[in-house]
Chains A and B, each alone.
Chain A
Amino acid sequence: MAKTKRVGVKIDMTPMVDVGFLLLTFFMLTTQFKPQEVAEVILPSSHSVFKLPDSDVMSVTVDKAGNVYLGFDAQPMREAIFGPQGKLKAGMQVELKDLGRLMREARIRNPKLRTVIKGDRESDYAVIQNVMEILQKENITRFNLVTDLER
């Protein structure tokens, strides 16, 4: 039997590498790192297709245990509302009685602020209801509930 001769196969990898680098640049430029969260929250799901606004966001986070956190996306705003120690945190835990006052202060500084509520799906509705009542009292009649896309 004749020994099969080994054939050296040479493939030009250049196009693949080109595409690889193209994709790499694309992902590097488009990637946005997840903003830090104040509290661990599992969002409820819905069919809504509204997108969360990019800037001027004031978020009221309610976690599973019913703790309420107030957060802002802009660092100067956080410093103004929570003082220097709150500058680097996404938000701070607040008492319900202070929530209205803090939101009023923030809205005076930036009237364009959009209010969003991030509630844990398992949190009691009573807390959310209280938050919504405070919003209503502060004349924030248009707000958004942050949800996940229903699968």
Chain B
Amino acid sequence: MAEVQTAESKGKQKHAGKKKKKRIAIRIDMTPMVDVAFLLLTFFMLTTTMNKPQTMEINLPPAETKAEVAESNLLTLRITDDFRIFWNIGTEKPTTVEGTNKKEKLVALGKLLKDRNRANPKLITLIKVDGKAKYIDMVDVMDELNINDITRFSIAPMLDEDKKIIGTL
């Protein structure tokens, strides 16, 4: 509570009529203000969001350009809706990426991509994801490419022919 002691000292002054003013000690209880300050502090500390969302940058070739790529330089990744990953180079027969769960498959995929890119630096990765797959599947694959520093990739829609090749149709 605020205690302002002025009444007593004022009376004295009148009586004495001295030139020198007496210093008045004012004591204000700061507790409520500090309480409020700390309350606000906790509020701002809890509501503040320090991390901004991350983003993944994608560069796609414009729609009109048709790039000619040698078959041996093209690695096609096909991802099915139940997250089986098929890969092949050129017109080879597709092989699956082995793994018991999604995480293992992604790790295996990363390793595979790294090895293949080391073997052939001109390799271009083409990603075809089934339309019924989830968005997270595609992001996970893209993430694996980003981690392994593979910047030369493109995205193409999964056509019926692709489904025939991997035997899901």
Contacts and interface: CB of A to CB of B under 8 A. Distances in A.
Nearest to B39: A24
A48 B135 contact: no
B146 A126 contact: no
Contacts of A13: 34
A8 B60 CA distance: 73
Give the bracket for the number of chain A residues in contact with chain B: 35 or more
Interface of A: 13, 17, 20-21, 23-24, 27-28, 30-34, 43-52, 62, 116, 119-126, 128-129, 132-133, 135-137, 139, 141-150
Interface of B: 30, 34, 37-38, 40-41, 44-45, 47-49, 51-63, 129-140, 142-143, 146-147, 155, 157
Contacts of A30: 48
A125 B58 contact: no
A132 B139 CA distance: 13
Interface secondary structure of A, over-half rule: mixed
Nearest to B41: A24
B61 A47 contact: no
Contact of A128 (B44, B49, B135, B140): B135
Contacts of A149: 51, 54
Q: Which of B134, B142, B147 is the most central at the interface, judged by chain A CB atoms within 10 Å of its CB?
A: B134
Contacts of B134: 121-125
B62 to A, nearest CB: 5
B41 A46 contact: no
Given A20-B37, A27-B41, A51 B52 contact: yes
Given A31-B48, A50-B57, A128-B135, 4 more contacts: A27-B48, A45-B139, A123-B135, A141-B61
Contacts, number: 145
B136 A122 contact: yes
Interface secondary structure of B, over-half rule: mixed
A47 B131 contact: no
B131 A126 contact: yes
Contacts of B59: 141-142
Contacts of A50: 54-57
Contacts of B44: 24, 27-28, 31
Q: Which of B30, B44, B147 is the most central at the interface, judged by chain A CB atoms within 10 Å of its CB?
A: B44
A132 B157 CA distance: 10
The 3 closest A-B pairs by CB, nearest first: A126-B131, A27-B44, A144-B55
Nearest to A26: B44
29 contacts: A21-B37, A24-B40, A24-B44, A28-B44, A30-B48, A31-B44, A31-B47, A33-B47, A44-B140, A46-B54, A47-B146, A47-B147, A48-B146, A51-B52, A62-B135, A116-B55, A119-B139, A123-B134, A125-B129, A125-B133, A125-B138, A126-B132, A128-B138, A129-B129, A136-B62, A142-B60, A144-B58, A145-B56, A146-B53
A128 B41 CA distance: 42
B131 A125 contact: yes
